[in-house]
Structure 1
Amino acid sequence: MEKKDPYASLRIKEFNIFLLVRFLLVFGWSMQFIVIEWQVYSITKDPLSLGIIGLMEIIPAFTMALFAGHIVDQKEKRNLLAICIAAFSLISLGLFLLTTESVLSNWSTNTILYAIYALVFFGGFLRSFFGPTIFSLVALIVPKNIYQNAATWSTSTWKTASVSGALSGGFLISWIGVDMTLCLVFVLVMFSLAFTFLINKKPILNKKIGEPMKQSLKAGLEFVFKNKVILGVLTLDMIAVLFGGTVAILSIFAQDVLKVGSEGFGILNASISMGSIITMFITTYIPINTKTGIKMLISVFVFGLSIIGFGLSSIFWVSILALFISGAADGISMVIRQTILQIKTPDDMRGRVASVNSMFVGSSNELGAFESGLAAKLIGPVAAVVFGGTMTLLTVITTGIINPTLRKLDLTKDLEAHEKLE
């Protein structure tokens, strides 16, 4: 194989446009989520109202996932993404209007709250379409021989936008207010919609257009559950997210265990994100096509160890280092997972496989937060984190033993085959 080019996918104009569209969307979405959580708690002063926000989003996202995957595999991807962004712009506009002074002074608190919940619910519905559409579109923009490189840059863009969006949301609330921050989100979404049309329409590679939905969904699920590599990767990531959800209880560690206050809380959060972002960029220079399965298992194992280290630490800088390593290991596993899914998924099933992926991983984020909170209440925060890390290690060891197909996975031949076809 030729020497690896870390900027291979960035030399494709349409992929750069795609990254810009994705950055604007995720930046806006992350900022919007932070602002809405702030606004809802400000008007209710009820912690349960924050939990309801997550519930309103995850219910439609989870229940609609397979249906969305079927639709994505049947439709042209560029236009479908544009439709999703246009619908998201309506949500952003609605949330902006709900936070204006005229609405706040004339509408009752419950009316505003229920309207916000309704828009968040609609956003969860759209979320079920965004993931499969973006996953499928990437495969139509870049050649298969640089899927790993494209997955790295795409995932890095998503993570960077997510972190910077959340940080910006917090600052902008105090600088320009909640309503104007949400207005800015609407503007960003409209820009992303405009840039989307700079991407050309893509061919529909599904040869079974018009296939009955029941048959289509059954075929997608059967493919995932019969493919030991894909099922193993999704299971690993799901368990890591489910039991390694330390983010949900970081505030407890900052206040009661490490006693570092709000500033320390911010540093702990940032250390995870920085580890993830830096490592994802580094992976553009490091090949993961050789011994891919082993590298995936090792990265999740290191993630579990670092979570245990964080749970046992009572020294601030050690905790920061442990979380940085956890973010770094998580970043590597994310890139490897996306690469495996892109290479091992047939073109006509990308939407459905991405939907199953979102059901595995997406729902685990919310369930993981619930598990961490419940465990912290029952056995204490330190024991809860150590338990989560231990469960992650046991899952890696078990997967490595019972799934030799994943353990022995090597993508070298797959990528070489794709290079010959290009």
Structure 2
Amino acid sequence: MRLWVARLLGTAAAQMLMVTLGWHMYERTGSAWDLGLVGLAQFAPALVLALWAGHVVDHSDRGRVVALCLATQAAVAAVLAVATLAPSLPGGAAHARWDSRTLLLALSVVLGAVRAFQMPAQQALTPLLVPAWLLPRAMAFSSAGQQAAIIGGPALGGLLFVAGLGTVYLSCTLLFGLGVALMLRLGWRHRPAAREPVTWRTLLAGVDFIWHRKVVLGAVSLDLFAVLLGGAVALLPIYAKDILHVGPWGLGLLRSAPAVGALVMSVLLTRTPLERRVGRHLLVAVGVFGLSMLVFGLSTQFWLSLAALAVSGAADMVNVVIRQTLVQLETPDAMRGRVSAVNSIFIGASNQLGEFESGATAALLGPVGSVVLGGLGTIAVALAWVRLFPGLAARDRMVEPRQG
């Protein structure tokens, strides 16, 4: 339970930090391109470090890896708090700006590097705590907690905006610190695999594993292209400020709306897990995700935008539970860190690189054109994957006997 609470606190803090960092950058520069750069700055180090991170996770105590990652994020939040508050403190130069564009991008790089280790470590811990037949429910329950944190984090951040950016960053530091304390107090410890030399063969073992299992490859690549094209998180500050005219509080609600839909869906999946036609459910869910983003892109009504984002979150939760369960069930424990690291590359590419793609296309086509084009692209990807990965489309049960 401490692991679950620690992840909840860390996720809430991370969401508060990211929504605040995005607003901070847009308020500082007013540039959609810079919003995209925040995503790119997080994705690049995650991509470079992912394979090595997977090797480290498989040969280290995964709980301590997560604790170190949370502690580093606490330090980043503390630096941002100091940079924001220092000029207004007694003795500070009121006209000075410590929160420069360069600092925001540099700290985004640090966050990306940290998540290269945190994501595979967290993903590889859960299957060790529950039997295989309970894993789909456990994944849904874990996701429910994550989504509750994703809802609460941005919403709380939006409320704390009233007291200023520095207050939000200080709150993030506190939540990360509590998460570290809980992770360090875990009574159970992971026994890492025996040390082996770092070679290209060991680093690329996760890539080779996924490549030869087409159902898993299809599931993770589907998520990559769907969220890469259909995600609009980076553009939410623009929608909140310039299109829907709802300000920081509205930005917090917009950022939380997908998590509301995801939370509802994760609770449903915990009570009634998907047992049949999981491949078809996965592809339909991605198509619904693309359609909801199309509605969001064209909407000028705040309530409709919230509803569309909530539907997108519910559809994405079906994708998340099926994909993560397939990956974890078909991976031996000794390789879960490396396989999860490859999976995190796909997730990072779809999220952080997707933010850069959204910012870049918005700079060319405007925010509405960017989101609409992405939604159409996501629908096209779902249709294409039916032909490209027929084994995934035909997958019936989540847990099937291993062939050969």
Q: Per-residue deviation at 1:336?
A: 1.4
Paired residue for 1:189, among 176, 180, 184?
176
- Which residue is 1:7 aligned to? none
Q: Which deviates the most, 228-237 or 361-370?
A: 361-370
Q: Per-residue deviation at 1:253?
A: 6.0
1:149 and 2:137 correspond:
yes
Task: State the one-letter code of the partner of 1:212.
Answer: V
- Contact 1:98/1:116, CA 8 A, preserved across alignment: no
Q: What secondary structure sits across from 1:62 in the alignment?
A: helix
Structure with the greater alpha carbon radius of gyration? 1
1:402 and 2:399 correspond:
no
- Kindly tell me the number of residue pairs found equivalent between the two proteins: 398
Aligned residue runs from structure 1 range 244-283, under 5 A: 244-249=230-235, 261-262=246-247, 269-283=255-269
- Which residue is 1:11 aligned to? none
Aligned residue runs from structure 1 range 2-401, under 5 A: 16-40=1-25, 49-101=34-86, 105=92, 109=97, 114-175=102-163, 177-204=164-191, 206=193, 209-249=195-235, 261-262=246-247, 269-311=255-297, 320-379=306-365, 383-401=369-387
Q: Do the aligned partners of residues 74 and 382 (structure 1) sit closer, same or farther apart at CA in structure 2, a change above 3 Å counting?
A: same
- Contact 1:97/1:103, CA 8 A, preserved across alignment: no
- Contact 1:19/1:157, CA 8 A, preserved across alignment: yes
Q: Do the aligned partners of residues 287 and 71 (structure 1) sit closer, same or farther apart at CA in structure 2, a change above 3 Å counting?
A: same
Q: What secondary structure sits across from 1:323 in the alignment?
A: helix
- Contact 2:150/2:256, CA 8 A, preserved across alignment: no
Alpha-carbon distance in 1 for matches of 2:279, 2:160: 42
- Which residue is 1:13 aligned to? none
- Contact 2:26/2:237, CA 8 A, preserved across alignment: no
- Contact 1:205/1:347, CA 8 A, preserved across alignment: no
Q: Per-residue deviation at 1:382?
A: 5.0
Q: Per-residue deviation at 1:91?
A: 2.7
Q: Do the aligned partners of residues 174 and 305 (structure 1) sit closer, same or farther apart at CA in structure 2, a change above 3 Å counting?
A: closer
- Which residue is 1:9 aligned to? none
Q: Do the aligned partners of residues 94 and 371 (structure 1) sit closer, same or farther apart at CA in structure 2, a change above 3 Å counting?
A: closer
Q: Do the aligned partners of residues 166 and 315 (structure 1) sit closer, same or farther apart at CA in structure 2, a change above 3 Å counting?
A: closer
Deviation string, structure 1 residues 233-290 (Cα, Å, up to 9, x no partner): 1111111101112344456667777x66558766655543322221121111222132
TM-align CA RMSD: 3.2
Alpha-carbon distance in 1 for matches of 2:388, 2:37: 38
Q: What secondary structure sits across from 2:204 in the alignment?
A: helix
Q: Per-residue deviation at 1:210?
A: 1.3
Task: State the one-letter code of the partner of 2:138.
Answer: A
TM-score normalised to the size of structure 2?
0.85
Structure 2 stretches lacking a partner, 5+ long: none
Task: State the one-letter code of the partner of 1:121.
Answer: V
Q: Per-residue deviation at 1:42?
A: 5.4
TM-score normalised to the size of structure 1?
0.82
- Which residue is 1:420 aligned to? none
- Contact 2:262/2:313, CA 8 A, preserved across alignment: yes
Q: Per-residue deviation at 1:152?
A: 0.9
Q: Per-residue deviation at 1:21?
A: 0.2
Q: Do the aligned partners of residues 93 and 312 (structure 1) sit closer, same or farther apart at CA in structure 2, a change above 3 Å counting?
A: closer
Alpha-carbon distance in 2 for matches of 1:47, 1:380: 9
Q: Per-residue deviation at 1:409?
A: 2.0
Which one has more relative contact order, counting CA pairs under 8 Å at least 6 apart?
Answer: 2
Deviation string, structure 1 residues 311-364 (Cα, Å, up to 9, x no partner): 566776655544332222112111211211221222111111111112112122
Structure 1 stretches lacking a partner, 5+ long: 1-15, 418-422
Q: Per-residue deviation at 1:224?
A: 1.3
Q: Per-residue deviation at 1:401?
A: 1.9
Identity score, percent: 34
